Amino acid sequence: MIYLELLLGFLKVGFFAFGGAYAAIPFIREVVLAYNWLSDEMLSYIIAVSESTPGPVMVNMATYVGASQKGLLGSAIATLAVVLPAFVIILLVMVVFRSLLKNRYFRAVIGGLQAAIIGIIAATGVYMIYKNIFLSGGGFNTDFVTLAFTACIAIIYFPAKKLLKKNVSPILVISVCAVAGVFVFGF
């Protein structure tokens, strides 16, 4: 029953994603791969589209995955599911557990979760890059064009951020890489 899977899958994402959209990516990836909904490649496209359209990125990703599986109803279910844990938890915090935030055990646990999730996000990003470069088209073969392209992005992006002393908008990075991609991969 795919509606139930969408509901449970995205409740899980909404419940465990501490720290915003990027924290949701590892969990969304696990869900879509486990149910065989989307490939890693399609998932990267969805991440890019979600980043480049207005609104909360995590919600955008859920809407998209739901829509790709089961149209309007699927996307409505996935969207509400990813939102519901946050909604309920905030209400609980405001009504019942105001003092919980000052509790040292609670804060220790939250701190631990936040530390672990940073590692989880980094591992997901590194593995997606690794897969793009070394596991293209099934089995181990190195895609040298992708390797060079990815290296170029990193070599330009990270120093540019340092140089400008501020964050470069992800939308700008995605747009530039889209244009560059047409020339590098299109011909």
Closer of 4 and 167 to other proteins (Cβ)? 167
Closer of 1 and 66 to other proteins (Cβ)? 66
Closer of 4 and 153 to other proteins (Cβ)? 153
* Residue 1 Cβ vs other proteins, minimum distance, rounded to whole Å: 21
Alpha carbon distance 142, 155 (integer Å): 20
Alpha carbon distance 157, 96 (integer Å): 45
* Residue 54 Cβ vs other proteins, minimum distance, rounded to whole Å: 5
Listed residue (147, 148, 123) closest to 135, CA to CA: 147
Closer of 19 and 141 to other proteins (Cβ)? 19
Sorted by sequence, the CB contacts under 8 Å of residue 169 that are 6+ apart come out as: none
* Residue 83 Cβ vs other proteins, minimum distance, rounded to whole Å: 5
Residue with tokens 């990815």: 150
**Local structure of 135: helix, strand or coil:** strand
* Residue 36 Cβ vs other proteins, minimum distance, rounded to whole Å: 14
